[in-house]
Structure 1
Amino acid sequence: MKQVEKPTVEKSIKPIRVGIAGLGRAGWNAHYGELKHKPEQFIVTAVTDPIALRRQTAEENGIRAYETIEEMVQDPEIELVDIATRSSDHYAHGMLALAAGKDIQIEKPFAQTYEEALELCKAAEAGGRRIFIRHNRRFDPDFLHVSEIIASGILGDVYQIRLTRHNYQRRADWQTIKAYGGGQLLNWGPHIIDHGLQLLKSPVKQVWSDLKHVVAAGNAEDHLKIIMAGENGRIVDLEISGGIAINSPTYMVYGTKGALSLTDNDIHLRYLDPDVPLAKLVANPGTPGEAFGKTGTYESSEQLVWIEKRIPVKPSQTFNIWDELYAAYRLDQPFPIRMEEALEVVRIIDEVKKGTDFA
Structure 2
Amino acid sequence: MPTLKNSLILTAYIIIFITGLPANLLALQAFAGRVRQPHPAPIHILLLGLTLADLLLLLLLPFKMVEAASDFLWYLPELVCAITGFGFYSSIYCSMWLLAAISIERYLGVAFPIRYKLSRRPVYGVIAALISWVLSFGHCTIVVIIQYFNSTHRVTDESNITCYEDFTPEQLEVVIPVRLELFLVLFLIPMAVTIFCYWRFVWIMLTQPHVRAQRRRRAVGLAAVTLLNFLVCFGPYNISHLVGFHVKASPSWRAEVVVLSSLNASLDPLLFYFSSSVVRRAFGKGLQALRHQGSSLLGRRGKETAEVANADRGTSQTEGAPSSDYNTG
With the shorter chain as reference, the TM-score category is under 0.3
Give the alignment's TM-score, normalised by structure 2: 0.20
Q: Which structure carries more relative contact order (alpha carbon 8 Å, separation 6+)?
A: 2
The structure whose residues are more often helix, as a share, is 2
Give the alignment's TM-score, normalised by structure 1: 0.19
